[in-house]
Structure 1
Amino acid sequence: MLMTNKRASRADYPDELKAILNVESAEQSRAWLSNWNLLNACATPLWDLPDAAARLGVARLSLKDESTRSPLGSFKALGAPIALIRLVLRLWPGHDLDPKGLIEGRYKDMLTNLVVTSATDGNHGKALAAAARTLGCHCVIVLHANVSVEREQAIAAYGARIIRISGNYDESVEETARLAKENGWHVVSDTSYEGYEAIPRDVMQGYGAIAAEIVEQSERHAGECAFTHVFLQGGVGGLAAGVASYLWEIHGRKRPRFIVVEPQQADCLYQSAREGRAAKATGSVDSIMAGLACGEASPLAWRFLDQCVDDFMTIGDNDAIAAMRRLAAGTGADIPLVVGESGAAGYAGLEALLQDSQRAQATGLNGDSRVLVISTEGATAPTVYEACVGETADSVLSRQAHWLDATVR
């Protein structure tokens, strides 16, 4: 399904939104993150896929590869640590704490009694657990019934205590809030709700690092966006808001067309676009795209998306699997890529639109389009990845290494 958002603005980035998310704070967050030993020092690759562009009939197709951001395997490594650092700075305002010292673990003795908690589909919880261990505080992660044991073990490996519930993601969010209130823990969530916006704002601000790198890696001319279309994953809306707000502030009225993609059965942002307010999904919310299997939009993220996302669309699980396989295969000119289930959503959305000439025309996609998609994760659940692609992630990476070697020669 596809819906054009008639409320989307082509004006300059509004001051009321800039007061919440802005380039200056994103760059500050990026500077702090540069000190974390779990993040790679260099920017993640921005791959051009010329064969795919030619096959799909667009002028350029680029993929930002967040699988290489960190051993954590996803873009979530940018949000949780920034939110945790800013939380600690607010909790101890008179201690003149150094953010660099926090992320280097120099205040562990002071933080030993701090407990942070969150609900998660996997990647955010793993990033929060890793950040908590670095800073020296304790972490409790609440998992819903559909989170795989493989993802649970990956989170526990970073020292988090795991609590399982029988419900879905939104019920795990509610249980996390209850446990935090009962035990005096601090919720570090990537989704907002009534009375809870500061930390989700900080998480989204961390995601601005992705957009900053994209600008540095791709600018054609000063102030001109290299892309006409940017496809962004849905979920609760945090990634889309963090990236789109940065690009909107930089490019103003000349911003690219933003298209948000989410699973058919977890269509909370699509439904929000229909209703004009943060809304709930209409489906089962059980998708192979685990990171996007969210039943309710973040009201804070929605303030941004309502004003700048031009189109909202949904895809099926089979679309995501087909995209994973196509990206893994590579071609003579296109590098083989390990792209996880949620990571493939943007590319899958592009493929789906270009299979329907009317929908492609509605979104302005044509032979002159320069398209950006973001792979938000690698094989964060290796057995799921292998089942979807029919090949292990290590096998794809081996072929990737051969492709790179041949390209260099």
Structure 2
Amino acid sequence: MHPSIRKRDTLCGVNHASVNGGGKVVTHLWGDLSSHEVEKGDITNPGTTRKNLLYKWRTIMTSSTAAATTPQTKSTTASFPPTFERGKDITPLISEFFQLKANETKDDFVNLHRYNFSLDSKRCRYGSTFLAIIVHSAPGNTQKRNLIRETFGSIGSYRNRNVTVVFMLAAVKQQRAQDSLQYESRRYDDIVQGNFPDSYKNLARKHIMAMHWFKYSCKAKYILKLDDDTFVNPYRIIDHILKTEPQGLTIECKVTQYPGVNRKKWSKWYTPESEYPFSVMPSFCLGFAYLTTPESWDAMYKVSETNRRMSMDDLYVSVVLAMKAGVQRTDFSNILVQCPRNKTFDYTEINQKAIVIDRGAHCGSIPFRHWRQIQYDNEHL
């Protein structure tokens, strides 16, 4: 844990417990009562339910959100499709929940942007880059990074548009692992390493770190954010950009809808009520890949200053920040090729589409094996 990280205020939560086996349920509210303006009578009353407390919290948040927003961070809310919970659109409540209140402690990274870089890259600092491919990677995924470098990360340019690949990592504990990353950085100059622990729960911090780094260290016309296990046909993605010319506050992504929220504590995707108290999720961008503009990243980076983070970074960025920043989402399923369960690709399709979506991790590195043929067919026309 980075030494500058302070103990965080705990959001108000609700626990239920039976009393004396008699079937009665007592609801306990945990967290700082004064900061949530909840009276003690509300939680000592056996008749109080989670629904009552959530209703009161929503009422409080509705009246207090405006005071927490400063003129410098006020933004235009994007028009998002409704998210219904028991027949009511909760989109405004989602926006209100994530808005930091005046007495809440800000996160050093997501809100205060206190990023320092142990390793850095100068690859797209000087303004000649058309497309910056920003890849979120884990420190131990050296083979995945090398596979990208050897395949779509190797083209340099297409149709006179320069392409740059940069990998986003965070801090490691072992010196041996750090030494290996330093060697990799010296060799390729494509590693950016932040100053917080690299973990799944810190993906939101890594996402905002990428925005921070891009804002101050990279000049590119477009951004393609990827996970390090995603295959891209760079020829088709550039063709797509030249055809559609995305402008302004926009994200192109695979928009999806989950039926509910994962409350299973053992799951990698567990989302506690303290992070997200609603029973349904809005539609959001799958985080494996999305195409966006510097204007969009800059706007979302700015509004992150006043919105509490969550570990589910794709929902946080493509809903919470996009909504607050006025960024519109567009589904780009037409440029995706679905990884088949039998792991056998139709080469014609993979050469015609821009990105492989492998939601079940059925294919792994198999799409990368088509790279040489894709490269030959596109550079020897």
Same fold? TM cut 0.5: no
Decide which structure has greater strand share.
2
**Higher RCO (Cα < 8 Å, 6 or more apart):** 1
Q: TM-score, normalised on structure 1?
A: 0.27
Taking structure 2 as the reference length, what is the TM-score of the superposition? 0.29
Which has a greater percent of helix? Answer: 1
